[in-house]
Homo-oligomer: A and B are copies of this chain.
Amino acid sequence: MYTLNKSTQAELNRVQAIIKKELASEKIIQEIYEYIFNAEGKKTRALLCLLASKSRHIKPTNRINLASIIELLHTATLVHDDVVDESDLRRGTKSVNQVWTNSYSVLMGDFIYSKAFILMVKLEISTILDELAKATNDIAKGEIIQLELFEKKQLVQLKDLLKVSYLKTGRLFEASAKTGAILANRSNKEIKTFGLLGKAWGTAFQIQDDILDYEALKKLDTGKPAMKDYKEGKITFPLFFALQNAKPKDRKFIMENLGRTKISKKDQNKIYQLIHNNKTQQNINALLEKYTKESQRHLNNLRHLPCYNEMLDLIMFSKIRKI
């Protein structure tokens, strides 16, 4: 596991404390809320925001608040995604829709979203509000496009996958970095660079997420069930390349089983092998490398900032992370 800089870890702990404090007085809401936030996520987006906003001239309180807002927004999308994907697990424990019902998930997602907006208004920085409202809208847009993309159960194009990855993942990374930089009163050029860094890193992060979904087969503890994407009928980056490189017979096999919730061990292994075809592994690693490099390239223009070293470490770790 990656070890954070001590002071950054302390800040991230404060984010968790802020989030947990945002309880409602109603018992049922408390119960679900605590359940959701007891299962701690990696808080990558909050971390990105904390680093982007690092500055000697800015009150830590506002930075922690902004990072908490971003973590709340992200969690709200996860709670809704679990309904969309009919997921059983989230962050290694049962998802809200499993413990309670879909209805509770829909409403708790709304509760957490609006909680984030309440906290956002308190910051009183309209450019931050604007960016986060737009990012939230884009995430929903990305999820809808993804839903339609995979409904037809047909081959997709790389540009579609990249668009969806940007909207559903890259966009909030972008917003986290940009709003952090806005809070720290960075120049317009720096804010833009942070945005581009976040966008590229978010895409790399999604690619690694997609890779890990297939690795869960090998019993690595990712907190997610094995081949979840495949069983949900989603063509992700690794499967896209596997389809491209597979023989017609294997391609047919992949497409026929795509979206089946029950797949035999033998068939799962076959798909795993097709993903681990040399060419496919080269393709997927090259794509991951491309976006990692791109985010590093933008980071290079931020060498003068206090977050540089930590940010570089994080980006480098992100592409080899196992959870």
Which residues of A come within 8 Å of B, CB atoms? 24, 26, 28-29, 32, 77, 80, 83-84, 102-104, 106-111, 113-115, 117-118, 120-122, 124, 126, 129-130, 133-134, 136-137, 139-141, 143-145, 147-148
B-chain residues with CB within 8 Å of residue A103 when the two chains form the complex: 83-84, 147
Query: Of all chain B residues, which has the CB nearest A111?
Result: B140
Give 6 closest A-B pairs by Cβ, nearest first. Answer: A114-B137, A110-B140, A114-B136, A117-B133, A111-B140, A84-B103
Query: Of all chain B residues, which has the CB nearest A29?
Result: B144
**Contact (A147, B84) CB under 8 Å given A26-B141, A133-B118:** no
What separation, in Å, do the CA atoms of A148 and B32 have in the docked complex?
12
What separation, in Å, do the CA atoms of A162 and B257 have in the docked complex?
51
**Closest Cβ of chain B: how far from A322's Cβ, in Å?**
29
**Contact (A126, B121) CB under 8 Å given A28-B145, A107-B143, A140-B111:** yes
A-side binding surface: helix, strand, loop or mixed?
A: helix
Query: Of all chain B residues, which has the CB nearest A137?
Result: B114
Query: Of all chain B residues, which has the CB nearest A113?
Result: B113
Is the CB–CB distance between A26 and B144 below 8 Å? yes
Query: Of all chain B residues, which has the CB nearest A28?
Result: B148
Kindly report how many copies of this chain are found in the complex they form together: 2
Across the interface, A110 reaches (CB within 8 A) one of B28, B80, B115, B129, namely B80
B-chain residues with CB within 8 Å of residue A136 when the two chains form the complex: 110, 113-114, 117
**Closest Cβ of chain B: how far from A127's Cβ, in Å?**
9
Across the interface, A26 reaches (CB within 8 A) one of B120, B139, B145, namely B145
Across the interface, A133 reaches (CB within 8 A) one of B32, B121, B124, namely B121
Beyond the given A107-B140, A114-B136, A118-B134, could you list 8 further A-B residue pairs with CB under 8 A, ordered by the A residue number?
A84-B103, A108-B144, A111-B137, A111-B141, A113-B136, A117-B136, A121-B130, A122-B130
Query: Of all chain B residues, which has the CB nearest A101?
Result: B147
B-chain residues with CB within 8 Å of residue A32 when the two chains form the complex: 144
**Closest Cβ of chain B: how far from A33's Cβ, in Å?**
10
B-chain residues with CB within 8 Å of residue A124 when the two chains form the complex: 126
Is the CB–CB distance between B102 and A83 below 8 Å? yes
B-chain residues with CB within 8 Å of residue A130 when the two chains form the complex: 118, 121-122
5 interchain pairs (CB within 8 A)?
A29-B145, A107-B147, A115-B137, A121-B129, A121-B133
What separation, in Å, do the CA atoms of A102 and B86 have in the docked complex?
11
B-chain residues with CB within 8 Å of residue A115 when the two chains form the complex: 137
Query: Of all chain B residues, which has the CB nearest A148?
Result: B28
